[in-house]
Amino acid sequence: MEWTPVSSTATEVAEWHKQEQVAYWKSRALSLEYENKMLIRHLRNVYAKQTEDYANYLKDQGQIEDVAVETDTRHVPLVEPVGKKRREEMDKLYGKKASKIMGMETAVQLNYDLHLEDAGKLAHWPHTPLNLRFDN
C-alpha cells in the first residue's frame, strides 16, 4: 500500500474559489442590470410627471390652451427597493462578507434553476415501455 500526497485538494479549492468569484460577479452584474432598468423606469415617470405639471402650470397661466400631454402610464410607485430588508438582515448576520455570501447564494440558486430547466427537457426513465409479460 503506497501513500500518495493529496495535492489535488489545493487545486480543487482554487478551482472552486475561481468558480465562486465568477458566479459572484455574474450575480452582481445581473442585479445591477435590474437596478438600471428600475432607475430608467423611475426617471421616465419623473420626467412625465414634470412635463405634465409644467403643462398644467402653463394652462393655468393662460399661456396655452388645453393640450394633451403624453405621459408614461406605467407608473412605478415609490416604494422601498426590492431586497433592501434582506440586505440589512444579511449585513447584521455576516457583516463585511454579506455581499459575498449573497453572491454565493445567488450563484447556487441560478445553478439550481438552470439544472431544473434542463431537467424538463430530459426524457424520463424509462423512456421505452417495459414488456413485463410472462408467458410460460
Averaged pLDDT for residues 102-126: 79
Mean pLDDT of the chain: 77
**For 79-108, how does the pLDDT look when each residue is reduced to its tens digit (9 = 90+)?**
566 678 888 898 999 999 998 998 888 888
In whole angstroms, what is the distance from residue 18 CA to residue 29 CA? Answer: 17
Residue indicated by cell numbers 444579511: 90
pLDDT at 114: 84
Note if the pTM is more than 0.85: no
> What's the gap between Cα 130 and its chain centre?
43
| Span 27-56, average pLDDT | 87
Mean pLDDT, to the nearest integer, of 54-59? Answer: 82
**Could you check whether the bond before residue 126 is cis, i.e. omega within 30 degrees of 0?**
yes
Q: What is the identity of the amino acid at 34?
A: Y
Cα–Cα dist 16/26, whole Å: 15
